[in-house]
Structure 1
Amino acid sequence: MTNEFTIKLNERESEKVRKGYPLIEKDAVKSQALPNEEGALLKIVDQSGAFLAKGYYGIQNKGIGWILSTRKEEIIDRDFFVRRINEAFSKREQLFEDGNTTAFRVFNGDGDGIGGITIDYYDGYYVFTWYSEGIYHFHKQLYAAFEQVTSFKAIYEKKRFAKQGKYVEDDDFVMGSRGQFPLLVKENGIHFAVYLNDGPMVGVFLDQRQVRKRIHDQYSEGKTVLNTFSYTGAFSAAAALGGAVKTTSVDLAKRSLPKTIEQFSVNGIDYEAQDIVVMDVFNYFSYAKKKNKRFDLIVLDPPSFARSKKHTFSAAKDYTGLLQEAIEITERQGVIVASTNSSAFSMKKFKGFIKEAFRQNGRKYKIAEEYSLPDDFKTTNHFPEGDYLKVCFIQLD
């Protein structure tokens, strides 16, 4: 077992830990010496030296590590990881038994007791995503614990702890039998082609499962649908299968065209009857207005930050403007699905963006439904930043 390195927190930060806050923030330890290498186990104490928690040292965004246990006697070893993984699996039993869904999250970082790591399931294959060198220090113990808990076809891994959070290029395969890709998985009966061996993103964002289901079940039949920042067209496939008259998928990335064609094709949808446009979304808004195009349903799911040759988009600064663009090409009684994965602001502030966009456009609206993360993306009330997804179904007048 690695020796513990002691860090002392002030009263304000100590109280946050006592209340269950799992992240050790950089500002809480900026005047202290820190371990020489990430992965060191931390003993966290208050100003009087009284024990608060055990954690590990790992640089991730605004944190320098995560709390692992508030039990002084708990040993951080393979058995500890076995317990955490077992607990997480027990909470996903219903999903494992659902034959219509074969892709979901089985371990969600701090929500399941180990910040800095997520584990996703794809029909017998698992993907571990590591968010700091600190947690990756324990990868052998975690993989050994995982083998003890469950069987699998193979394990793949994604390392997202290079400078500025960029992806670490490496062979993603870890153990088991290498898969044949694309691998076809199901989500509420919809098929998605995924690639576990091709960079940081596999082809579908699992946190939007509930939203895609509502679009399919309730909002698509007989509608014209615009899917912006469409990536591989997952929302478009859900809408088409839900009875949309036509879908239009818009994304700047050139590979979005073949990827979206593939998602339509694996679901038996005639992709030639759909529109797939490789274009900057903001340029497409201008084009749509010029051509007098209108849509019954518009999906806005931009990245938190994006940059093209002519535009820079930050969800925290620019979402109101993005919504204004969408409002202008939405039919009367239409719906905008406004979504963001930014943890930089709350749902309350997000609704403020919506209110301001409609005020400036002079149209009335109501929020018909709202969503956050699905249950498999387990979070804790003590760390609201972890519940990053905010989705509003906006009904226009």
Structure 2
Amino acid sequence: MTETVAIQIDHRFVKPYYEGYQHIPESLSPALRNLKTEGVYIDLMTPEGVFIARGYHGHQNKGYGWVFTQDASVYLTIEFLRQLFSDAIGKRQKLFQDEETTAFRLFNGEGDRLGGVTVDLYNDCALVQWYSLGIYEHRELILDALEAVYPVKAIYQKKRFCEGGKYMDADDFVRGERIEFPILVKENGVVFNIDLNDGPMTGVFLDQREVREQIREQYSKGKTMLNAFSYTGAFSVYAALGGADKTTSVDLAKRSLPMTIAQFSANGIDFEAQEIRVMDVFNYFDYALKHALTYDLVVLDPPSFARSKKRVFSVQKDYVKLLEQALQLTNDNGVIVASTNYSGFDMKKFKQFIKRAFHNQHATYKILETYTQPEDFPYDANFKESQYLKVVFIKKLS
């Protein structure tokens, strides 16, 4: 039986938890710092000892754990977890019935009422991501519940927390039948190579599905496109399928070259007619300026934090500069797709970054449309950081 620890909290914090707030931050109580064992239940109590809500202790960058119920009789049992997964599946019936999309998120942490764990479907395979040792301690029940409500062929996992000095296992296979990778999945009819057992990433970021589709349908035909921080070239594939004259994909990772070639080839696109460069994006900007290269469509989707031999990049500190440099490569009436998954600021502040960058470059602009997470990535309205994705389509006027 999992241990339960009662923690009293100040009256000023009580009401949000009665109303369904899930996050347990370090600032909630000094007693949280004394918790040593991850995975134990945390019962939040009023100063008078009245039960408020139950969560679990799972230390991650977002705090000390997550509340999962306001019912004192509820624990992380297989019955409770099965209901969570059943509810999540019910909300995603449109995607389950879409034959053109076979990769999407089945369960999205706090957006589906259990923070710290996500589940993605890739055809009939599931990828479970654990964001703390605390939730990982409950893995067997969670996996049992998942298998009970959805017939997956195989389950793989990614640990997003440090255990024994490392973040990943050599083998991410967990249950079911081992799969020979890569597999081919579909997204809006576009085909992607996916490997669930090769490092921290899988080959495509599923939360950009709607943005990619819009690029293909509305912004690509007859355009030249620069895809910065291109990873495996998913945006470039969509642009090419949308009729772009040429795409240029730039990423520092050496594996981005073969992976991008594979994505183009899977969709019948001649990769030799596209440009794929393995280099630092900022170095490429310098190269493009030197050679007077400009583009009609520029996609900026950098990691929140990245370090190379010569440079450290932080979205919070450096996105304005990134936009400024991209502006110099964007044709008048061209479009910049500015994107970030950094949860530390909201869309309002992101738009301030955009305003500052254009002001610094003495350029004018018009915001055409904005995006956040698609329907399979629900967020908790009470916890603003869970609405992390911010995408803005910007037209450079002059």
Aligned to 2:341: 341
Contact 1:160–1:166, Cα closer than 8 Å, also in 2: no
Q: How does 1:33-52 map to 2 (within 5 A)?
A: 34-52=34-52
Amino acid at match of 1:106: L
Cα drift, residue 17 of structure 1: 1.9
Q: How does 1:50-199 map to 2 (within 5 A)?
A: 50-162=50-162, 167-199=167-199
Aligned to 1:203: 203
CA distance in 2, matches of 1:75, 1:169: 29
Are residues 128 and 64 of structure 1, via their aligned partners in 2, closer, same or farther at CA, if it must alter by over 3 Å? same
Contact 1:250–1:281, Cα closer than 8 Å, also in 2: yes
Contact 1:19–1:382, Cα closer than 8 Å, also in 2: no
Cα offsets for 1:271-290 (capped at 9, x unmatched): 00000001100011111111
Cα drift, residue 16 of structure 1: 3.0
Contact 1:216–1:238, Cα closer than 8 Å, also in 2: yes
Amino acid at match of 2:270: D
What SS does the corresponding residue of 2:30 show, helix, strand or coil?
coil
CA distance in 1, matches of 2:26, 2:165: 16
Aligned to 2:363: 363
User: Structure 1: any 5+ residue segments left out of the alignment?
Assistant: none
**Which piece of structure 1 moves more, 39-48 or 385-394?**
39-48
How many residue pairs align between the two structures? 397
Q: Normalising to structure 1: TM-score of the pair? A: 0.97
Aligned to 1:2: 2
Are residues 239 and 33 of structure 1, via their aligned partners in 2, closer, same or farther at CA, if it must alter by over 3 Å? closer
Amino acid at match of 1:361: Q
CA distance in 2, matches of 1:365, 1:2: 56
Amino acid at match of 2:308: S
CA distance in 1, matches of 2:170, 2:132: 15
Cα drift, residue 48 of structure 1: 2.1
Aligned to 2:392: 392
CA distance in 2, matches of 1:170, 1:15: 44
Cα drift, residue 78 of structure 1: 0.9
Cα offsets for 1:66-102 (capped at 9, x unmatched): 0010112223311111110110011111101100000
Task: Give yes or no for the alignment of 1:249 onto 2:244.
Answer: no
Contact 2:32–2:64, Cα closer than 8 Å, also in 1: no
What SS does the corresponding residue of 1:382 show, helix, strand or coil?
coil
CA distance in 2, matches of 1:35, 1:365: 51
Contact 2:227–2:298, Cα closer than 8 Å, also in 1: yes
Cα offsets for 1:153-206 (capped at 9, x unmatched): 111111111079963223211111111211000000000000011111100000
Contact 1:10–1:46, Cα closer than 8 Å, also in 2: yes
CA distance in 2, matches of 1:84, 1:344: 27
Contact 2:133–2:163, Cα closer than 8 Å, also in 1: no
Are residues 46 and 84 of structure 1, via their aligned partners in 2, closer, same or farther at CA, if it must alter by over 3 Å? same
Amino acid at match of 2:123: D
Are residues 279 and 62 of structure 1, via their aligned partners in 2, closer, same or farther at CA, if it must alter by over 3 Å? same
CA distance in 1, matches of 2:277, 2:54: 51
Are residues 315 and 83 of structure 1, via their aligned partners in 2, closer, same or farther at CA, if it must alter by over 3 Å? same
Q: Normalising to structure 2: TM-score of the pair? A: 0.97
**Which piece of structure 1 moves more, 164-173 or 22-31?**
164-173
CA distance in 1, matches of 2:324, 2:166: 31
CA distance in 1, matches of 2:394, 2:163: 38
Task: Give yes or no for the alignment of 1:269 onto 2:291.
Answer: no
What SS does the corresponding residue of 1:258 show, helix, strand or coil?
helix
Cα offsets for 1:186-233 (capped at 9, x unmatched): 000000000011111100000000000000110000000000000000
User: Structure 2: any 5+ residue segments left out of the alignment?
Assistant: none
CA distance in 1, matches of 2:167, 2:233: 23
Cα offsets for 1:372-397 (capped at 9, x unmatched): 00010011211110010000000111
Q: Sequence identity of aligned pairs in percent?
A: 53
Aligned to 2:303: 303
CA distance in 1, matches of 2:36, 2:344: 30
CA distance in 2, matches of 1:374, 1:33: 35
CA distance in 2, matches of 1:14, 1:95: 37
Are residues 81 and 31 of structure 1, via their aligned partners in 2, closer, same or farther at CA, if it must alter by over 3 Å? closer
Cα offsets for 1:31-50 (capped at 9, x unmatched): 45644310101111122222
Task: Give yes or no for the alignment of 1:351 onto 2:325.
Answer: no
Cα drift, residue 62 of structure 1: 3.4
Cα drift, residue 11 of structure 1: 2.4
CA distance in 2, matches of 1:216, 1:26: 43
Q: Please give the root-mean-square deviation of Cα atoms over the aligned residues, in Å.
A: 1.4
Q: How does 1:7-22 map to 2 (within 5 A)?
A: 7-22=7-22
CA distance in 2, matches of 1:284, 1:164: 38
What SS does the corresponding residue of 1:369 show, helix, strand or coil?
strand
CA distance in 1, matches of 2:75, 2:226: 52
Contact 2:252–2:279, Cα closer than 8 Å, also in 1: yes
Cα offsets for 1:261-317 (capped at 9, x unmatched): 000000000000000001100011111111000000000000001111222111111
